[in-house]
């Protein structure tokens, strides 16, 4: 786990924790793109969605279910929110430890850039 998220998981870099269980950690993004911007990462290191296999299907579902939980914890479950998983270069992925963005707290534009 050589990425910055590996360092966060090992406690080598601090984070503003929003939620944690045995499988995932959720924390505020350091460069928020919306009033609420949380990242959900698996504790297991998977580089990105494209590296996930059928053996990760339960984990992927758990990450999605965690997004709903995070939205409620952050008080944006009623106003609405967006979940985004950037994958690869054209997808805009910059940290190669799979993560789901949860964004909300303002109306979000569409389509994304």
Active site residues: 99
Tokens encoding 91: 């997808």
**Torsion angle of alpha carbons 67, 82, 95, 10, nearest 10°?**
-20
Per-residue contact string for residues 36-75; x = within reach of ligand DGP by CB under 6 A: ---x------------------------------------
Contacting residues for 52 by C-beta, under 8 A, at least 6 apart: 46, 59, 60, 98
Check residue 24 for interaction with ligand DGP (CB under 6 A).
no
What does the binding site for ligand DGP look like in residue numbers (CB under 6 A)? Answer: 4, 13, 15, 27-31, 39, 86, 92-95
């Amino acid at each position: 786990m050589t990425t910055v998220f590996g360092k966060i998981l090992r406690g080598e870099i601090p984070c503003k924790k929003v939620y944690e269980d045995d499988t995932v950690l959720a924390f505020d993004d350091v460069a928020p793109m919306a009033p609420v911007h949380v990242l959900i990462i698996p504790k297991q290191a998977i580089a990105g969605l494209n590296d996930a296999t059928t053996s990760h299907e339960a984990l992927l579902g758990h990450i999605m279910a965690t997004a709903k939980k995070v939205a409620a914890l952050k008080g944006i479950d009623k106003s609405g929110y967006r979940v985004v998983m950037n994958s690869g270069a054209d997808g805009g992925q910059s940290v190669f430890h799979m993560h789901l963005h949860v964004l909300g707290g303002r109306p979000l534009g569409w389509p994304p850039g």
